[in-house]
Structure 1
């Protein structure tokens, strides 16, 4: 069968997009190739024409998930309200309840740490970019090294808070964790003057 020009690239894109979603939603170990290929609308037989192994797909899927996150930081807005919105959006009920389209780090860190070096190397490169772009969102009177340290600390609060809020079975406690995370990230970002409001957890 002859395919139109660009068919393989389009199919590859569909597989990676499906993998990025399934890995975040169900976990890497629990996600089989059959499920990914089915979600991409393709047959299992075509997998190895795109990837040498599941590890290759894991690497690309994680890169895609992080690229989506980086896109939201691509155009830094120096206004405090923009950073406040970013904090509220990340630590929101909406984000907590939709891991399949959310932060790859919060969804997959324990599994990423157990992946082969090639996967962890790709993750590290994307994470470095994420840290730099988040640092650029911080108040401009911060020195560069301090901004990077602050960005790392904010990411730690983001990821840890989101993981905890998803793990507990008490909705009230989960919401309280999100609110506490917002306050902590707000303080770290130098926005403790009220730029971020508690109601931000409503997403």
Structure 2
């Protein structure tokens, strides 16, 4: 059976989409190649027609996730958008309950750091977020404050996803959200 000329490109894109979602939702280690390919109706062997290794897939899927987030977050991160809007969006119940389409930092950075497999893409995302947040703050300590804000947002989201008690998870988000907004409004 002959495939259309763009079949390989479409299949490659499907693999990236699904891998990016699964890595953010389940983590890199918990995402096996065989279940990933099976979910797409593809064979495990077919994976190697698109990627040399899982490591290559991880890097490309992270890049894909980051590029997609830059587009979807543009309305929350632009220079005219207040920091409070980013804080509200990031520390929302929607973001908490949909890790597969959210920020990769809570899931992926913890896992890659623990495994000693840091990624330049993570560096890029952290630098980009820090620059964006610092640009919304005033004062000579804006970079230090941006580090505090980003660390608190990622940490609160990670913790809220890890607790079984729904009320506690919601409280982690809402308290961090309100504390960060109070801190940054006075800055």
Instruction: Give the secondary-structure state (helix, strand or coil) at the position aligned to 1:2.
Output: coil
Distance 1:68 1:150 in 2: 26
TM-score in terms of structure 2 length:
0.85
Q: Which residue of 1 aligns with 2:2?
A: 2
TM-score in terms of structure 1 length:
0.79
Gaps of 5+ in 2: none
Does 1 or 2 have the higher relative contact order (CA < 8 Å, sep 6+)?
1
**Shift in Å at residue 191 of structure 1?**
6.3
Contact 2:89/2:95 (<8 A) preserved: yes
**Shift in Å at residue 88 of structure 1?**
1.4
Gaps of 5+ in 1: 193-203
Distance 2:70 2:133 in 1: 9
Q: Which residue of 2 aligns with 1:164?
A: 159
Contact 1:157/1:184 (<8 A) preserved: no
Q: Which residue of 1 aligns with 2:146?
A: 151
Distance 1:4 1:146 in 2: 56
Change (3 A) 1:26 1:73: closer
Instruction: Give the secondary-structure state (helix, strand or coil) at the position aligned to 2:180.
Output: helix
**2:173 aligned to which of 163, 175, 178:** 178
Give the count of matched residue pairs: 185
Question: Can you list the C-alpha shifts for 1:49-103, whole angstroms capped at 9, x where unaligned?
Answer: 11111111111122222223222444614243xx323211211111111211111
Contact 1:73/1:133 (<8 A) preserved: no
